[in-house]
Amino acid sequence: MTEYDDERIEFDFFDEPETQEAPQRRRRVRRPASGPPRPPSAPTGLVPLARLVGLIAIAIAIVVAFVFWVGACQGKSTHDQYASYAAKVRTVAGSSNSLGSEFASELVASGLKQSELESKLQQDAQQEQQEYDQALQIQPPGPLRAIHAQLLDALELRAKGLAALGDVVSQWNPKSDSSTATATNGLASEGELLIASDVVWDELYRLPATQQLKTQGITGVVIPASSFVPNTELVSARSFGVLLEHLKGATTGGTPTGLHGSQLLGVVANPGNTQLSTSTATTVNVSTALSFVAGVEDSGDFQETGVVVHLTITAGATTIKRTQTIQLISPKQTTNVTFSGFNLPSSAFGNKATVKVDVAPVPGENNLTNNTATYTVFFTLG
């Protein structure tokens, strides 16, 4: 052994401090608060629960409000969709109605020749076809799609009816009695298509569409009506017979045979039903509803069409003229023609004025002595 063997060797790898116990914290002594004692506080677990319930209630209210808002928007959108559809149909109906009025005027126009009527009827058919094409582009709401097809059928009947009438007129021989008889029946037959179109529009389209709106709960939307031939007598065999007689005279240069004519029976001023006189002056009370009603009779033996009636008021330097047309009148039948919408100047009051009514002669009329009358009147504010 060496001298180092007797020495003790120690190895200190880590120097650790001596362990000390942590000092204990002193509890603070709460001093009693001055004043009344506080109420016991709610258990700490109920506060978050109350907040959660409140948030849930607010969320439910927001959801309910959103649902109502969405429903209101959808209801408004549905109403607007139906209203837009009805507006588009109303445009088509208005155009077709106007064409029907033009068609009626063409049938009663005096001096019209065969070729002119044929051309007008073909033009009318083309215009009605355009109305059909326009209606075809309208997109109806889902529940009205099947019903909308009936509207198209009505317009198609009108277009086909007008074209067929033009074809019959073009094939008619004015110099042949048998051709005239055939044409008369043919025109009446094709005219039934126009009458049928009004029935289809009203019974198969307008009424079912209106009912569908009620079923859907849509209010404030009106499905428009349409009438192409308000007076069905205008397209009867009798009326077409008169038409061909007039066309024959205008086309061949001849005049209708037999007794033809119209006469003025009298004139009444309204309101008040005041009968005007040709022998003495009549006082006429004037209001915004002032009108004159002329009674016109078919004094001949034949049905007349397109009888024109004129009314002229002369008061000092002022002259007011009005014109009305009787589309159709039968033998010995009386028709009342109303003239209204007068705006008399101040100079017309207190001074003598005249009211003249004149019934224009019809083709073949020879006696014109009973077609005109002049009445002296005094206008006063009623």
Residues 176-234 pLDDT 10s:
989 999 999 999 999 999 999 999 999 999 999 999 999 999 999 999 999 999 889 99
Model confidence at 253: pLDDT above 90: no
Q: What is the pLDDT of residues 109-139, one digit of tens each?
A: 877 899 999 999 999 999 999 999 999 999 9
Confidence of residue 169 (pLDDT cuts 50, 70, 90): very high
Q: How far apart are CA 325 and CA 317, in angstroms?
A: 27
Specify the higher pLDDT residue, 9 or 105: 105
CA distances from 85 to 90, 179, 200, 295 (A): 9, 46, 19, 44
C-alpha angle 157/240/358, rounded to 5°?
115
Mean pLDDT of the chain: 85
Helices (H), 200-283: 207-216, 237-252
Model confidence at 32: pLDDT above 80: no
Architecture of the domain made up of 262-381: Distorted Sandwich (2.70)
Q: How far apart are CA 233 and CA 101, in angstroms?
A: 14
R_g of the chain, CA atoms, integer Å: 46
SS3 172: coil
Model confidence at 22: pLDDT above 60: no
Which helix (H) or strand (E) element contains residue 182?
helix 177-199
DSSP string, 200-211: IIIIIIIHHHHH
Among 190, 204, 230, 205, smallest CA distance to 99 is for 230
The pLDDT value given to residue 9: 47
Q: How far apart are CA 297 and CA 310, in angstroms?
A: 15
Model confidence at 64: pLDDT above 70: no
The pLDDT value given to residue 378: 94
DSSP symbol at 35:
S
Each residue of 90-126: b (16+ CB within 10 Å) or e? eebbebbbebbeebbebbbbbebebebbbebbbebbe
Model confidence at 2: pLDDT above 50: no
The pLDDT value given to residue 297: 97
Q: What is the pLDDT of residues 269-278, one digit of tens each?
A: 999 999 999 9
Mean pLDDT: which of 10-24, 64-78, 314-328 is highest? 314-328
Find the mean pLDDT for residues 266-285: 95
Q: Where are the domains of the chain?
A: 67-252, 262-381
Specify the higher pLDDT residue, 94 or 23: 94
Specify the higher pLDDT residue, 284 or 26: 284
